Every structure is written in C-alpha cells, then in structure tokens.
Structure 1
Amino acid sequence: MQVVTGKSVLNGIAIGKIKVYKAPKLEISESLIEDTEGELKRFDSARERAIEQQNALYEKALIDAGEDSAEVFSVHAMMLEDDDLLDATNEIIRSQRHTAEYAVKVAFDNQAKVFAEMEDPYMRERAADIYDIEQAVLSNLFGINTDVLQGTEPCILAARDLTPSETVRLDKSLLLGIITKEGSLNSHTAILARSMGIPALVQCRDACEDWDGMDAIIDGYNSCVYIEPTEDLAKSLRKRKDKDTKQRALLQELKGKSNTTIDGRTIQVYANIGGPSDIGLVQQNDAGGVGLFRSEFVYLNARDYPTEEEQFNAYRLAVETLAPKQVIIRTCDIGADKQVEYMNMVKEENPALGVRAIRICLSRKDFFKTQLRALLRASAYGNLGIMFPMIISRRELRECKEILAECAEELQKQGMKIGSYAIGVMIETPAAVMIADELAEECDFFSIGTNDLTQYTLAIDRQNAGLDPFLDTHHPAVLREIKMTIDAGHRHGIWVGICGELGADLALTETFLRMGIDELSVNPVSILPLRKIIRGIDLSKAPAERTPEE
C-alpha cells in the first residue's frame, strides 16, 4: 500500500479505480505558410467555436455548481473577444506567415506571462485562464474531441492539473474523486469540485502516472490517498463513507424544522447566492431567505454596463420568487479581486485598499443610481433588503441614503411603484467596527463580512496562498470585533448577521450564538449542517470555552 498526502478540497471518502488523465500533446510546427487569409479564417472559426463552448460550460456549471463557480466561463468567453489578444494572434499569422496553431500558442502564452508576472495575486491567477482558453482554441484547430476525459466507467480521476473547462466537462455521474499534482485550494478547479460535492486532493506532489487502473481511496478527512489499500483499511473507510451517506440523508429530515437551540433560542439561517440562477438552491436547501445576493455577478456576466431594465429583471426574479422571504441584495462590489474590462478601472498597486465597492459607486453616481433605481423597482415585488459594502464612515452611509432617496423620488414622479425595503451595512473593516454605534443609528441591520474583516484586521491578503500559514480565521481580534459589532447593533435596536465564510464554520456556531448573533448567511449546501448544529446547542449550559468578551 502507498500513502500519498495532499491538500483536501472537501471532507469525504472516494473509493474506486484510478484513471490517469493526460492532456493531449499538441505538435505545433514553426513552418511558414502561404495562405495567410485561410489561416486567419481558421483561427477565427476556432475562436468562435471556443466562445460557444465556454458559454455551454457556463450553463452546465450553473446547474452543477452554481453562479459563483460558473462565472469563470463568462470571463473566458470575454477574454476570447479581447482586442489585444486577437490583434497579436492575427499579426503573427499575417506578418510572420505562421500557422494559426503557432500564432495562438505564441500570442496566448505571451499574454499569460504578462499576467503571471503581475504583483496582484488575483491578476496572476488570470494566467491560468489564458492557458485554459488557449487550450480550447488549439483543440478546435487540431480537431480534438475534448468531451471524453475520464472514460465510461466510474473512476477517481488523477491528473497533473485540471483547467476549469476540463473539470466542468467531467461526467459527474462517473466521477468518484479528483487527485491533482498541482493546483491550490483557491483554484477554480478546487472551487468547482467543492461546489459539486466531489472529494478531491490538490498538490499531491507524489502522484504518478503508474497509478492508472489501480484501486485507491481518497480520504479527504486526513488529506491523503491510499493506493492499493489493505482490506482492513478499505473496510474501515467504506464504513466511514456509509456513515457520511446516512448523515446526508438525515440532514434532509431537517427540512422544514426551525433553527432553534435546545433552550429555545431561534436564529435566522439565510443563503449567500451569486444571482437568480441560485434561487433553486435556496429553496432546495430550505434557507430562511437570502442574506447576501452578490449583485456584482450581474456586472461580471455582462459585456457592457447592465441597463436598469436588465438589473431590475434579475432582482425582481429573486425577490418575487422567494417572497415573503427576505432577499438582501448587496450593491455592486466590483474592484479588488473582481474586475470588469468595460469599467476601465485604473490599475492600482494595492486594489484591496483602493477604489472598490461603495467607493466606485460614490465616485460614479450615474452608475450607482442605475442600480439603485432597479433595486427600488424590485422592492415592489417582495421583501427586499439593500446592503451597502465597504462603508467606513457615517458620511458615506448618509450619502448612499441620500442618493437612494433621490432615486425613489424620481421613480415616484415617473409613476413607478416602490415597496418597502430595509437598509443595511456590511461591516468588513476595523473602521466600521469602531464606529458601529454611529452606523447603527442610520440603518436597519448589519451584516458582518468576515472574509474582508479578517483580511483587513490581520493585514493578510486573502488572495495570497503563500500567507496561508499566517492566517488564523479564529484570531481573537476578529472574534472580538464580531462581538463588538453585535453589541453595538443591539444597543440601537437593529439585528446583526454574518455573511462571510466564518458563518459556515461549525466550530464557531456556538460562539456566535453566545455572542448574540441574529442571523447566519452561508453557502446553500451548508444550511442543513448548520441547522443540525444549532439544534444541538444548549445555551443555558456553561460554554466549554469562553467567548472573547466573557
């Protein structure tokens, strides 16, 4: 038996035979050609086909993994329309008289290297996206069938790495698990595997091609894979897998039950979603509402500024479908790790500390008003909350409310119907925590964005994988800030929730309840496990560990 360690993407057990996937080797000639016009047409045809494929992958990923995970394929489709990339490729064909295959390889590789050398970790990761679309175009030029990756039998797929496109094309019904030599826990492939509920290991450095056809077990709990496991070990892990299956079935029995502790304390458990396509997940997992609708995906999935009507239709669909449940929509949070070309953002040395979220909105008021008008119109169709991100001062919040009031007045003059709505603030900086009492006087609720709050409190770039050893998501400073925010909100009679990743951290659920949190908003698939934990807590008993403020 061989034991190889890696980094676990998802806690779980996968048992089966390994299928080693090798990306096809493409022999690209440097020979010159005479028919440049023909090669230009070949390239354009392959590129158009690649765009169609990326759009199809987007639709598939929506179903398999949700809006957040699918968004990368919309970005890929937009990259394939990039003028600089197209011009560079066409120029190599036209002026240097090279084949379309050679031109794509050189032009796309050069563009990927530009991204790879950037200081911003998010932009560096875009190099992988360039290589992914390069492979898509080359596959079309070579006539390679990219649909067959794993064969026709259930298997654990092993590879050096998998692109997002390759991951989504996998037949989920035949996919038992994934092992890659490279990759990271924050890569698109890891996110997709996690969203699809597939046990996976990345950075399995000792994985090898000789494993093809061997029996294996991925143990996501212990971050390792057993090759040709002993019978006793296989028997033990099968029992663990059966236990996991039964536990998932038991969780389904929690549908329709309340999020109430043993001693009678009830809190709201909401869902975080990326857009209207995730509404089904909200209903399927029995969420009490939507605590975070990430409206930036409306912008990320568009090729130009989305119109008021386009935004209104997206917001109305969510609000109307889920009524009377509350749907809290965060205003545009573009910037930092989320960029769109058509907004022509100025390159910043440190975008996480730059023009992002509400700072963009308040400096581009016409842009902001388009979204606010759409939100106000949608409020007539259900229970809407409007939430402003990255607020660090009372002045900013008041300015947002003034612009919102202007929009409401304009719509009423136009005879448009507006419903009631709540106004909330995301608490995601130490500054917001320190003035939480002042902000609470100006709004109806707080939602704590623990991802950014942790980043800004600990001075750790959450996009930088190299800082993982220094990142403590349970840091006492972060927990104290959460407690301070809850207390400030309650002093002024408003409810307080958490919509960041810590909301789904079951090790902290009791801590948050003892702090007095009113709502937790999490990934839809985390709702029932969270409900189970809540229903097993007895707040009348002394805690095993003291909370930060006790």
Structure 2
Amino acid sequence: MTMFKGIAASDGIAIASAFRLTDPNLSFDKKTVDDSDHEMSRLHRAIDISKQELRTIQQRTLKDLGIHESEVFKAHIAILSDPEFLKRIENTISSQRVNAEYALKTVSDGYVKIFNSMTDNDYIKQRSTDINDVTKRVLSHLLGVKLTDPALIDHQVVVIAHDLTPSDTAQFVPNYVKGIVSDMGGRTSHSAIMSRSMEIPAVVGFQGDLADIHNGDEVIVDGLTGNVIVRPTPEEKHRYQAKIRDFQARTSQLAAFKDEATTSSDGKHPILAANIGTLDDLQAAIENGAEGIGLFRTEFIYMDSESLPTEESQFNIYKTVVQKMAGKPVIFRTADIGGDKDLPYLHTPHEANPFLGYRAIRMSLDQPDIFRTQLRALLRASAYGNLSIMFPMIATTIEFQHAKRIFEDERQKLLEKGVAVGDIKLGIMVEVPAAAILADQFTNLVDFISIGTNDLIQYVMAADRGNRRVSYLYQPYNPAILRLIKHVIDACHENQTPAYMCGEMAGDQKAIPILVGMGLNEFSMSATSILKSRALIKELDSREMVTLANKTVSMASTSQEVLKYVHQALDES
C-alpha cells in the first residue's frame, strides 16, 4: 500500500481499478514544403473537423451539465475561429515554407509561453490550457492519429492523468468513471468544476509520481481529504468501504434538511442562499432548499450571447428567476464583464492584468448604454418578485453614487411611462480592500453589503489563487483576512445594514463556525453546499461561536492556529 496526497477537488470517495488516460503520439518532424497552399488546405480541413467535434461535445455538455460547463467549448471554437490566430499560422507556413503541423505548434507554443508568463489570474492560465487542448485536437487530424476517447470507458475505473482537459472530462460517463486523479490543476480549473457538477470524487495537484500507478492497480480516491491510496491492503479497503457507506448515509440524511429553516442551536437564523449563473442552476438551488439567491452572475447571459443581449431577453430571464423563487430574495450582480471575462463582440483591449483592470462596474460606468439596458431589464423584472441589485468591484463611494444615479434615472423614466417597478434594494460587493476598509462609510449609502471573498482574499494576500507557486498564500483562514471580514460585518451591524457573503468561503465548513460567530446574516454558496451547511449550523451555538471568532482575530497569527481553534470549538460544542 502506498499513500499520496493532493488537493481535494470534488467530494466523495471511490474505489476502482486505475485507468491511465495517456495522450497518443503526436510527434512530427519539421519539413520544408514546396506547396504552401496545400499545407494551408490541410490546416483548414483539420480545423473544420475539430470545430465540428467541439460543437458536438458542447451540445452534449450543455444537455448533461448545463450552460456554464459548456461555455469552455464555446471558447475552444472561438480560438479556432480567431482570425489573428489563423493568420499567424498561415504566415508561418508561407513565410517559412514549413508543414502545417510545425506552423500550428510554433504559433500555439508562442501563445502558451505568453499566457504562462502572466501568473496574475486564473483566466489567463486557463487560456493556456485551452490553447493546448485545441492544438492537440487539430494536430491529431493533421497526423491522422485518433485521440483517446474517454467516452469508450466501459467498466468502473479511477482515471489517472497528468492533466485533464475539459474535453476529456466532459466525455466521462459517471457510471464508469468513479474517481479522478491528476497531478495538474486546482479546485478552480474547468476540469475540477466539471467533476463537482458530475459528482465524481477528484484529487488534483497529485504530490507524487503518476508513473507509480499502473493500469489495473486498485486505487482509492478520497475527494474529502485529498488522499490517494494505491494498492490498498484489505484492511484499508475495508475501512474506506465503511467511509463510503458513511458518506452516502450522510448525503441521504442531508435531504431531510431541504425544507427546514436554517437555525442555530440557540435560535439564530442566518439565511442560506445559492450562487447561480443560469436558469439550469436555479433548479438545483430550489432542489437543495435555498432560502434565496445571494448571487446571480448576470455576466453569463452576456457570455452565452453572440452579441449584446437585448433588454427584452434579459428581462425574460430575470423575471423567470424571481417568479420561480416565489417571493424569496434574489440578488442580481450587474455584469462583471471585461478584463478577465472578455467578450469578443465588445472588442476590449488586451490587458496584462485583467483582474485589476477594465471590468465590472468600471466598464459599466464607462459604457453607460450597456449598463442602462441591463438596469431597465432588472427594474421591469422587479415587479414580479423580491429583487435586489448589487454592483461588483466597487472601490470608492463615488463609484457607487454614480451607479445609483444612473439606476434612479432609469427608474424614474420607467415610472413616467407607467411601467410597474418593485421596491429594489441596492448593495455592493466588497471584494476590493479599499471598500472593505471604508465599510463604515458605505453602510451609510447602501441597503446591504455582500463580501466577495474569492477576489478579496487574493487582493489582500497579493497572491493569485490559481498560481501553484504562490497558492500557499491563498489563505481564507489567515487572521488578516478574518480581521478584515469582521471589520466589514461589524461596520454593517453598527449601521443596521445586512452583511452577506457570496464567495467560496461562505460554504466552507471550517469557516462557517467563525462567520456564525461574527454574525454574518446571509451565506450564499454553491447549491450542493447548502444542505451540509444547514446541518452544520443547526449544531452550532452562536454564543460559543462568538468566542471562537474573537479568538481567531485576536489570538491567532497563522491559518493553522485558526483551524486549531475551530477544531477545539467544534469538539466542545
């Protein structure tokens, strides 16, 4: 028996035989050619076939997993349709008189090198993976080599791979692929997100040599702890079979919490809401007993459109969401587009550091026509349910006041036309440290504050959460982060302003006891985290958690010390 560690990326435990997913031989020689037109014809034929395959995978992923997970293949098709990308390959063929394989690989390697040098955000790193994925597909058609087809796996396995592309993961059949082990990627990679959507236990960032795992070896994947056990002893296998039964029983028991209110053992009632981006996500939120929608990512509507979505198309989506939530609160975040979520039809300039660039409210205020269209759609939809709006990436009070003036202007115009408008609350996402520090000033202006921990943590720690070399600094339990969060929540309480959270931290089982102690009013998380979070909160005494929260911000100096206090508090409660 050999045990390895990695990053727990998707909950669950699996025991099955290893299936090594290896790439075929796509090696080739550089060749000088006389007929450049013939090489370009080969290139375009290979690209056309690749795009058709990607459309097929996209449609299957859309049907099986939803819009969000299928978006990556839309991006892959866009890469192969990019005139600049194609022009560079064609120029390399004609100017250097080389074969299509060499030109394709040279150009794609150039892009990958540039993207890999920009270690400041997940988006750029994922673009590198996307370029490699589509290049591999086109190369396979140029060389006449068949790619490994994960859809052909016909028995229960744990897939072992150096790196899983989104194309690979989307073709897994969950009945056969029981677990995943990869030595690349993190929790925020496309493949990890898809694994969670498909409920396949996964461990990424494998800290060992994958060559030590052979085809047919029995493997245990613990997606709860990040453990990978190869060739387990009968005793170890028996122990994990018991853990699987416990996990399944626990999952079944959680269903009983669906229709219950979220109440701590001493009677406190925080709200558990869901983060969603599509109508497909909405159904999962309802099925998991969400008490509201704490974050609707409206940018997905823009990302799923070939051009700017119309007011009417947006209105219909927003109206459907609030109607289906039947009076429960729904918070729509205005579009966080630009920068790291580039929309090809907007022709925004490339930025070296898009997470700190032209995005979200900065883009909305700079292009008010787009912003006003969205606000009108939201205002009209508010007549059909409990609708609130929050603005992302707010850094200054002036930005919020500017956005509010535009909102009020559009509201007044609709009222003058006799259009029904509901009572809308306006809030901000606190993800920029400057806004967190000035939370007391914002509480005099807004109806609520929602803390976006994903960006806030990496901005405070100056560390890209997707960069493996500095990932150790992405520390949600760091006392500096906790102090800043407490500062925001305290400022909200002092001014009777509700304090919400919509980042990954809101559904973190280790962070929830601390946040309960800080008095967070609403926890908004992925739908699959709601029931286990509700079960946890029911076991907590908020008065004891106040003591815990105070300890973490006043006595701890490291994340490890914070976690020690959490474990002690849970053991004693």
Normalised TM-score (structure 1): 0.91
Report the CA distance between 1:335 and its aligned residue: 4.1
Corresponding position of 1:158: 160
Q: Which moved more, 1:348-357 or 1:286-295?
A: 348-357
Report the CA distance between 1:321 and its aligned residue: 2.6
Structure 2 CA distance, aligned partners of 1:485 and 1:55?
Answer: 45
Structure 1 CA distance, aligned partners of 2:325 and 2:140?
Answer: 42
Corresponding position of 1:8: 8
Structure 2 CA distance, aligned partners of 1:284 and 1:295?
Answer: 21
Letter of the 1:138 counterpart: L
Contact 1:19–1:150 (CA under 8 A) maintained in structure 2: no
Structure 2 CA distance, aligned partners of 1:290 and 1:420?
Answer: 17
Corresponding position of 1:229: 232
Structure 2 CA distance, aligned partners of 1:526 and 1:148?
Answer: 28
Letter of the 1:126 counterpart: R
Structure 1 residues 269 and 62, CA gap change in structure 2 (3 angstroms): farther
Map residues 215-254 of structure 1 onto 2, 5 A cutoff: 215-254=218-257
Contact 1:269–1:521 (CA under 8 A) maintained in structure 2: yes
Corresponding position of 1:26: 26
Letter of the 2:388 counterpart: G
Structure 1 CA distance, aligned partners of 2:470 and 2:233?
Answer: 37
Corresponding position of 2:133: 132
Structure 2 CA distance, aligned partners of 1:270 and 1:451?
Answer: 17
Q: Which moved more, 1:244-253 or 1:197-206?
A: 197-206
Map residues 276-295 of structure 1 onto 2, 5 A cutoff: 276-295=279-298
Structure 1 CA distance, aligned partners of 2:273 and 2:119?
Answer: 36
The answer to whether the aligner puts 1:299 opposite 2:302 as a matched pair is: yes
Map residues 109-148 of structure 1 onto 2, 5 A cutoff: 109-118=109-118, 120-122=120-122, 123-141=124-142, 142=144, 144=146, 147-148=149-150
Contact 1:66–1:195 (CA under 8 A) maintained in structure 2: no
Q: Percent identity?
A: 37
Report the CA distance between 1:482 and its aligned residue: 2.2
Structure 2 CA distance, aligned partners of 1:38 and 1:220?
Answer: 49
Structure 1 CA distance, aligned partners of 2:335 and 2:88?
Answer: 33
Structure 1 residues 49 and 404, CA gap change in structure 2 (3 angstroms): farther
Map residues 470-489 of structure 1 onto 2, 5 A cutoff: 470-489=473-492
Q: What SS does structure 2 have at the residue aligned with 1:270?
A: strand
Map residues 286-435 of structure 1 onto 2, 5 A cutoff: 286-414=289-417, 416-435=419-438
Contact 2:258–2:287 (CA under 8 A) maintained in structure 1: no
Letter of the 2:135 counterpart: E
Contact 1:272–1:523 (CA under 8 A) maintained in structure 2: yes
Corresponding position of 1:457: 460
Corresponding position of 1:502: 505
Q: What SS does structure 2 have at the residue aligned with 1:493?
A: coil
Contact 1:78–1:303 (CA under 8 A) maintained in structure 2: no
Contact 1:307–1:370 (CA under 8 A) maintained in structure 2: yes
Report the CA distance between 1:174 and its aligned residue: 0.7
Contact 1:75–1:301 (CA under 8 A) maintained in structure 2: no
User: Deviations 1:250-295 (Å, cap 9, x if unpaired)?
Assistant: 1111111110112211121100012223112112211112100111
Corresponding position of 1:174: 176
Q: What SS does structure 1 have at the residue aligned with 2:332?
A: strand
User: Deviations 1:316-375 (Å, cap 9, x if unpaired)?
Assistant: 332233232222110121245433343333444543333322111112212221221222
Contact 1:20–1:209 (CA under 8 A) maintained in structure 2: no
Contact 1:388–1:425 (CA under 8 A) maintained in structure 2: yes
User: Deviations 1:160-180 (Å, cap 9, x if unpaired)?
Assistant: 221111111111221111122
Q: What SS does structure 2 have at the residue aligned with 1:304?
A: coil
Q: How many residues align?
A: 550
Contact 1:67–1:273 (CA under 8 A) maintained in structure 2: no
Structure 2 CA distance, aligned partners of 1:544 and 1:439?
Answer: 27
Contact 1:17–1:155 (CA under 8 A) maintained in structure 2: yes
Structure 1 residues 4 and 310, CA gap change in structure 2 (3 angstroms): same
Report the CA distance between 1:31 and its aligned residue: 4.7
Q: What SS does structure 1 have at the residue aligned with 2:548?
A: coil
Corresponding position of 1:264: 267
Structure 2 CA distance, aligned partners of 1:30 and 1:468?
Answer: 38
Gaps of 5+ in 2: 555-573
Structure 2 CA distance, aligned partners of 1:504 and 1:348?
Answer: 32
The answer to whether the aligner puts 1:71 opposite 2:74 as a matched pair is: no
Structure 2 CA distance, aligned partners of 1:530 and 1:501?
Answer: 12
Q: Which moved more, 1:416-425 or 1:497-506?
A: 416-425
Letter of the 2:319 counterpart: R
Structure 2 CA distance, aligned partners of 1:48 and 1:320?
Answer: 42
The answer to whether the aligner puts 1:522 opposite 2:525 as a matched pair is: yes
Structure 1 CA distance, aligned partners of 2:68 and 2:478?
Answer: 27
Structure 2 CA distance, aligned partners of 1:310 and 1:143?
Answer: 43
Contact 2:463–2:474 (CA under 8 A) maintained in structure 1: yes
Letter of the 1:72 counterpart: V
Report the CA distance between 1:93 and its aligned residue: 4.9
Structure 2 CA distance, aligned partners of 1:370 and 1:138?
Answer: 43
Structure 1 residues 78 and 413, CA gap change in structure 2 (3 angstroms): farther
Report the CA distance between 1:101 and its aligned residue: 4.2
Report the CA distance between 1:546 and its aligned residue: 4.5
Contact 2:24–2:148 (CA under 8 A) maintained in structure 1: no
Give RMSD over aligned pairs.
2.7
Q: What SS does structure 2 have at the residue aligned with 1:250?
A: helix
